[in-house]
Structure 1
């Protein structure tokens, strides 16, 4: 099929909403990354999302709503803590895993009895949800396993001919997918996937915030993924990504000993003046790194990189989200020097 590129004008957003209502698939901007939007209650539409991405069927999708009050229509029960968190973080980059009801098909939830619910803050995504009157399932709008898209151009490159349309809403604000949490007990949460709603932010409202083991380690054999981004190798370009933890001088020496024609490094902006080998930078602060990481991974492929050594980010705040994406892009290969 021909994939139509739409603007964020009112007329084009109405066209995008009509595609959704008709069971078609649309690339839609959100504040995190671009999503591959479809009617979450339409099994055939959701099946086509999995096909377009090449996504494993047991990898659950997140359902996007215009307002958290709508969650009662798609869940069996909403804990009081979920309402408390929604008051602070919705709309925004937080997904809460809740027990689903029959209005959400099992294909949407990846075979689980739970569903991730999110209220996006991006005005384009928000308006399309309102105009379509549908809950919108929207995994990242990329080929499964490849770096997530943060621009309409990325989506067109990955999805042209596979989906009906892409809405160009500019570059994504945050650059990494939403934080996904499960609520445990009356006042505790478990982070299943880190994002820009951080452990520190959640700790202000919860008695305990648990970091799930799968954030930094592979799932054990037979373990089900309760959230997107937990089970499979994700976010990876064609190049072989290798994470390196260590001070800059040690990093430089290691890269020098393992340098080659198609070797690049991904370093902090502040390292650039002292780094003698081929490189790209991805910011200094964690928020800058989150905003740039997927764009840089795609640019490294465009540059012909075959092996990339990455200076590992910090693991506090938003840095945990960046580290999580990189360790999965690297297939959990980390060198500590």
Structure 2
């Protein structure tokens, strides 16, 4: 299959009538899959109402079929088509954070969305992306679009069109190239089907921000327990992993440096994931800075690109520093823990 690339300038007016957007929308209406930029990562979109289109998403990614997909919409009134109800707290969050990196789990109307998209659950995650190209494409095709991250399952999510090509060229109909994404980690997923909302996946919208709007918010135990049926993407299976084994290191710079030295003496090519503040503190084969600790948002924005760069550097093993679990750091550590398969070395 030839993978078309439609390059679109997100700053151009009237994007919905852009010929590239019109072409990509037509491909989506033909139940093919198209990668599209969002403010978080690139998504792999397909018609959420059509089993064939959704099956193509799973096939291209190599994604387990019991892992549900997030539905993307461009207009809030689209919820009425396939959502059974929007509770008051969900409405408040929609008013506050949409468009933006917040996915809200709601109860569905039966028989509208593909069962493959919801993994047979009676709920669905929905969000409205905060990206002009994504919104234009969603409006142009007029469909709810199921869109997980546009990468091979288990690998780092794509934050550029080139990342998508690396994983999926020849496997999908096309890519809408709207430039690099901004946030860098996937949306927060929040279950609003109960009285107290529950975070199913941490993201750029933090627990603290959510609680400012709706009061108490819980964190679901399925984030760490893998024997539960997933309600949302990212709650099951190893994700975001680079090719080389990744270990999180809880300890001093000297301790991490000794780990590097030990592995180099074994003849291994060693990588270190750190930040700009500490990039000169390590003597390793490859030392990559992932943003700055002073601005954790820059760590989130850089994370997947850095993990992919370790692949290009062909390291044999990677040691990563730890980050705070507060604010967006919760999302950063969630992704790193999954990328490492929870492998942790403590001083």
TM interval, shorter chain, is over 0.9
Say which SS state the counterpart of residue 294 (structure 1) adopts.
helix
Q: Tell me the distance in 2 between the aligned counterparts of 1:335 and 1:23.
A: 46
Say which SS state the counterpart of residue 35 (structure 2) adopts.
strand
From the superposition, tell whether residues 263 and 34 of structure 1 become closer, same or farther in structure 2 (CA, over 3 Å): same
- Backbone CA RMSD of aligned residues: 1.3
Say which SS state the counterpart of residue 190 (structure 2) adopts.
strand
TM-superposed CA distance for 1:8, in Å, is 1.2
* Residue 5 in structure 1 maps to residue 14 in structure 2: no
* Residue 295 in structure 1 maps to residue 305 in structure 2: yes
Structure 1 segment 58-207 matched on structure 2, within 5 A: 58-101=66-109, 102-183=111-192, 185-186=194-195, 188-207=196-215
Give the total of aligned pairs. Answer: 333
TM-superposed CA distance for 1:127, in Å, is 0.5
TM-score normalised per structure 1: 0.96
Q: Tell me the distance in 1 between the aligned counterparts of 2:225 and 2:257.
A: 29
Unaligned runs of 5+ in 2: 10-17
Say which SS state the counterpart of residue 37 (structure 1) adopts.
strand
2:327 match: 317
**Paired residues of 1:7 and 1:13 also in contact (CA < 8 A):** no
Moved more, 2-11 or 167-176: 2-11
**Paired residues of 1:147 and 1:234 also in contact (CA < 8 A):** yes
Unaligned runs of 5+ in 1: none
TM-superposed CA distance for 1:161, in Å, is 0.8
Structure 1 segment 167-316 matched on structure 2, within 5 A: 167-183=176-192, 185-186=194-195, 188-215=196-223, 217-220=224-227, 223-259=228-264, 260-278=267-285, 279-284=287-292, 285-316=295-326
TM-superposed CA distance for 1:232, in Å, is 0.6
TM-score normalised per structure 2: 0.93
Q: Tell me the distance in 1 between the aligned counterparts of 2:272 and 2:221.
A: 28
Say which SS state the counterpart of residue 92 (structure 1) adopts.
coil
**Paired residues of 1:241 and 1:330 also in contact (CA < 8 A):** yes
**Paired residues of 2:188 and 2:204 also in contact (CA < 8 A):** yes
Q: Tell me the distance in 2 between the aligned counterparts of 1:112 and 1:131.
A: 28
Q: Tell me the distance in 1 between the aligned counterparts of 2:3 and 2:315.
A: 29
